[in-house]
Amino acid sequence: MKPENLPSTIRHWIGGELVDAADGRTFDVCEPATNAVYAQAARGASADVDRAVAAARAAFPGWAGLSNRERANTLYRVADAVEARHDRLAAFETYDSGLPITQAKGQARRAAENFRYFADVIVALVEEAFRQGEEQFSYVRRTPVGVAGLITPWNTPFMLESWKLAPALASGCTLVLKPAEWTPLSASLWQEIFEEAGVPAGVVNIVHGIGEEAGQALVDHPDVPLISFTGSTDTGRHIIRSSAQHLKTTSMELGGKSPAVVFADADLEAALNSVVFGVFSLNGERCTAGSRVLVERPVYEEFTRRLAERAANVRVGLPSDPATEVGALVHPEHYARVLNYVEIGKKEARLVAGGARPDHLSDGNYLQPTVFADVERDARIFQEEIFGPVVAVAPFDDEAEAIELANATQFGLAAYIWTSNLKRGHRIAHAVESGMVWINSHNIRDLRTPFGGVKASGVGREGGAHSIDFYSESKIVHVAMGDVHTPRFGASS
């Protein structure tokens, strides 16, 4: 369903003005339910990034010079403005990304909470102080880094933009945001949100474009000391290599192939609910999806059968239909990539559910939720991130094998453990190589906690005070409190 007030042109927002690309270029934006082109977006390049960085630098002294309370009050107004656009945001996000409307409706609330939370954090922030006896006193002064470069992904784009925007602004940084080119629509709402909230011109700048052009220009810019990126591992590696030229600080939230480990003593119904939701919600296009399900052998056949039954009953349909549980994958290129993995999986394992386009949907990027069983550890569908509604299931015989299989990929973002033996749950949680672990729970986030992965799943942590640390520099100031007794080198006797 086409939303009301849909723009036909999506422009950059630089220095408080909506502008075209410096060279006038645009690119097509399509919606995934039919792959029809519905808008043109400005195609940014180096000149556009230069202008945006200049605007951010000019605005930096004023924004950084505000008190934490003043910036927090502005962020509270941003949150209110986001929530006031709840329905419009959900409609835009669904239309542009293929996300089911019932799942898109939660994005405004989550985005608003990001701004409120980091407003609270910056006001309550405590800076450290140290006393060395009666001789010296030392204190930490925290200052914003400067212009932050934010590069965001196409899955739940608006909410993930807010996850970076809120702490960057709370810390006192100004910024340039480069949204994902496949899903630029909801980013067009930020201009009116920030203007309504009273954010000064130039504090936030948005440059649209292709990653290899606009994104690369942002990474290469010498006046952008910090890059926060969420996306694929290969792109993250490239950004780190490019950032080394200017020794930029980077935060990389990258890919995942997260295990869900189900022991025979688990609450199987709860584990099944979590596995089905965790891998098929958001169309399976989520970095923390439990896309490798490892099941203890005594319950392996039962669990796999029930998982296949549930997958077959998942409602695939138009993203705008409230009954839809899995919508359209984001873009034809990504759809072709996921379908290629399905064909690979048919040669590597036993297909027990899905694996094809639903019969009732002849157009668009639709795939029935897909389950492969008896997947070997060296299979590509076990090792590589598919980023779609596809899950690989494999058995294990004991705790040691469960840990070995859980760790048998290059990724280490999230893990899910299901067992009624909490001692074992803790042992597995400590042994699994991942940045985040849930025991007898699905992916419930607490904004105070660090978010990030190990191995090929990322570098650094964001969330809570970790985000403020990332966007800040800490300077230690030492003050003598009494007479200074320094050895008198070179003094005459």
* C-alpha span between 467 and 148 (Å, rounded): 12
* C-alpha span between 291 and 385 (Å, rounded): 8
Concerning whether 253 is annotated as a catalytic residue, the answer is yes
Quick one: CA torsion of 450, 455, 460, 465, rounded to 10 degrees? 10
* C-alpha span between 437 and 177 (Å, rounded): 30
* C-alpha span between 469 and 472 (Å, rounded): 5
CB 100, CB 327: distance < 8 Å:
yes
* C-alpha span between 27 and 358 (Å, rounded): 30
Look-up of token digits 């379908």: 339
CB 233, CB 239: distance < 8 Å:
no
* C-alpha span between 33 and 432 (Å, rounded): 38
Query: How far, rounded to the nearest angstrom, does the alpha carbon of residue 145 sit from its chain's CA centroid?
Result: 21
Concerning whether 287 is annotated as a catalytic residue, the answer is yes
List % helix, strand, coil for the chain (3-state, nearest 5): 40, 20, 35
| Catalytic annotation, pick one of 31, 161, 287, 385 | 287
| Catalytic annotation, pick one of 253, 296, 385, 462 | 253
Residues with active-site annotation: 253, 287
